Amino acid sequence: MPGVWYHSAVVAQSSKAVSARLRVIEGGADPAARTPTDDQLVDAVQRGDAAMAGLVYDRLLGAVDHALYRVFGRREHDHDDLVQAAFEQIVLTLSRRSYARACSLQTWASTIATHVAFNALRARRRERRVFDRDASNISEPEPPASADLERTAGARAELERVRWLLAGMKPERAETVFLHDVLGHDLAEIAHMTRVSVAAAQSRLVRGRRELRDKLTKEQLTS
């Protein structure tokens, strides 16, 4: 099972263990020849080759961590759990041969991590609605703040509001907007990553931007 392979291999093998294994084979050969390609790593996952697990983790951790951070704007208290959930999905999709190898493995991992992060954000949005209803009759005075602190807090609140609105949009639109406008992927890459045509990816981007703009305008009018 892919999940078992992940827990027993990817998590168990630390970067230190991988480095030690690489040092053993050092002997003047070209370093590039000793570094597996993306295709070799994917083949290893599909074979269930636990010996390559640490290299898969090291290759993709940066992309996963970056995508999660960009969605939330910080490392949440459950960041490690989200990283693990992302790797479980990465291994699962690779094992099922869902990865068509049309983009880099890091790009694919970034897409999976973004999807995991938005799922978590949507779950928190639902929980927040319940909490807000329960606390609707409770009000506390806010302490005074300096002008600089107010500006900083205002900017952070605006970013948080955009993330919150994205979490309330259709998943395919929100993730397309995020992948394009935040992570900087072009439409061709997004089409490959989400397994749709370029025209469909462009349609999701246009509709997603319009939906986000409409939500922002609606909030401004009602605030």
Predicted pLDDT of residue 9? 56
| Lowest-confidence region among 21-25, 94-98, 128-132, 207-211 | 21-25
Q: What is the pLDDT of residues 90-125, one digit of tens each?
A: 999 998 888 888 888 999 999 999 999 998 888 877
Which of 184-191's residues contact partners 24+ apart within 8 Å by CB, and which partners? 185/107, 189/103, 189/107
Q: What are 60's two structure tokens? A: 């993709």
The CATH number given to 150-223 is 1.10.10.10
- How far apart are alpha carbons 45 and 167 in whole angstroms? 32
Q: What is the DSSP string of 87-146?
A: HHHHHHHHHTT---SSS-HHHHHHHHHHHHHHHHHHHHHHHHHHHHHHTTT---PPPP--
Mean pLDDT to the nearest integer, 32-54: 83
Numbered ranges of CATH 1.10.10.10 in the chain: 150-223
Burial of 13 (0-12, 13-18, 19+ CB in 10 A): buried
Least confident of 128-142, 149-163, 176-190, 192-206: 128-142
Q: What is the pLDDT of residues 47-98, one digit of tens each?
A: 888 888 888 999 999 999 999 998 888 888 889 999 999 999 999 999 888 8
Q: Kindly tell me the burial class for residue 176, based on how many C-beta atoms sit within 10 Å of its own C-beta (0-12, 13-18, 19 or more).
A: buried
Asked if residue 92 lies in contact with residue 3, where contact means CB atoms within 8 angstroms, the answer is yes
Q: How far apart are CA 146 and CA 1, in angstroms?
A: 55
202 token code pair: 């462009």
Residue 35 has pLDDT above 80, yes or no: yes
Tell me the range of 6-10, 26-30, 164-168 where mean pLDDT is highest: 164-168
